[in-house]
Amino acid sequence: MDRLYFLDHASIPFHFRQTPRDFVVEEVPLYEWSGEGEHLILHVRKKDLTTWDMLSAIAKHLGIKEREIGYAGLKDKNAMTKQYISLLKIHEEKLGTFDHEKIKILDRFYHNNKIRIGHLRANRFFIRLKKVTPVAAEKIKEALRSIQAHGIPNYFGYQRFGMFGDNYKKGQGIVEKTLKERNVKMRKMYVSAYQSHLFNLWLSRRIEISKLINSFDVSELEALLNMPEHDIVWMKKQKHPFKLIEGDTMMHYPHGRLFALEYKDEEIARFDERLISPTGLLSGKRVKTSQGQARIVEEEYDVKMDEDGARRYAWIFPEECEANYREEEAWMELHFTLPKGSYATVLVEEIAKRKIKENS
């Protein structure tokens, strides 16, 4: 999918390849471990393995089912990743003989509860870009400063769509009942890819609307956007590059309850202050939809399906952004922290202003 980028600079040349040397992810836990309880928390480092591969190797060694091991989120295969997993403390002794060339247990803790999906605060990333000229280095630093100041669109990354980027087409076929998939796990993956594709299309449209708001007068925008004048005037007042629309389904940031956006200047201020952020729809059942003008835009990307829907932050705010240029090697080393469920490669593509998967 050719998505719109929110930054306005021209494409920046550099080389990126997602490997364990150049792509490192460290999970930031949601809370501190209690130091007591029946669960053993392992801080684990892996490389060239999916999280499922790692869990399978550990479960096989211990003689248990993979589902008995708790984890907070899935981590990239083509990376060096550090994350926390949990299992019952009764298995601790047998772990003493665990040995795997691609898995290392870094530390152990005790805790009262099993780790569940989503039990992480954020992910900290290190990414190395190569073949970076001094001119490109300055442009990268400037782009990262803009990202630090305004945030980025929370697109789903290319990893979501499979090796050839077309898993969503199979999901669409399943939803439209032109394709059958008996494997429940694969069916869920394909439909999820389709939900993600629709979300990305909607988000790209919202960025297009935001850019039009910044570029044209109110009189011209009424015809371009087919929106009432007072909606356009209200969006024109907003300083943030991503324009909120009346009826947007907002969510407290970085977590909290959903609510509908009203015409209030204080709501704009809360978004600017990173206290709230708009959400986009993942089509499906039992999900809150937007209202008013926001719903009119959203409806085009809302498809009826049997799966449950959800809301996802449309805009996120990377933290602790750093860019260190090593001119002798022509390397730019990026450090940044993203909220859970967000893609580091989306941030890199926003800086590059182009797709980066072809370099992998």
Instruction: Please report, as a single letter, which amino acid is at residue 71.
Output: Y
Token code pair at residue 217:
């007068």
Instruction: Please report, as a single letter, which amino acid is at residue 333.
Output: E
Spatial CA neighbour of 154 closest among 211, 107, 202, 116: 202
Give the CA distances from residue 278 to residues 84, 219, 258, 260, 321, in Å, rounded to whole numbers and listed in that order.
30, 26, 9, 9, 22
What CA–CA distance (Å, rounded) separates 93 from 108? 12
Pairing of strands 103-111, 80-88: unpaired
**How far is CA 219 from its chain centroid?**
36
Token code pair at residue 100:
């795997």
306 flagged as catalytic: no
Give every CB contact of residue 85 below 8 A, 6+ residues apart in sequence: 41, 42, 44, 54, 55, 58, 69, 70, 71, 115
Sign of CA dihedral 280, 285, 291, 295: positive
Candidates 2, 8, 76, 217; catalytic one: 76
Pairing of strands 152-153, 315-316: antiparallel
Instruction: Please report, as a single letter, which amino acid is at residue 308.
Output: D
Q: What positions carry a catalytic annotation?
A: 76
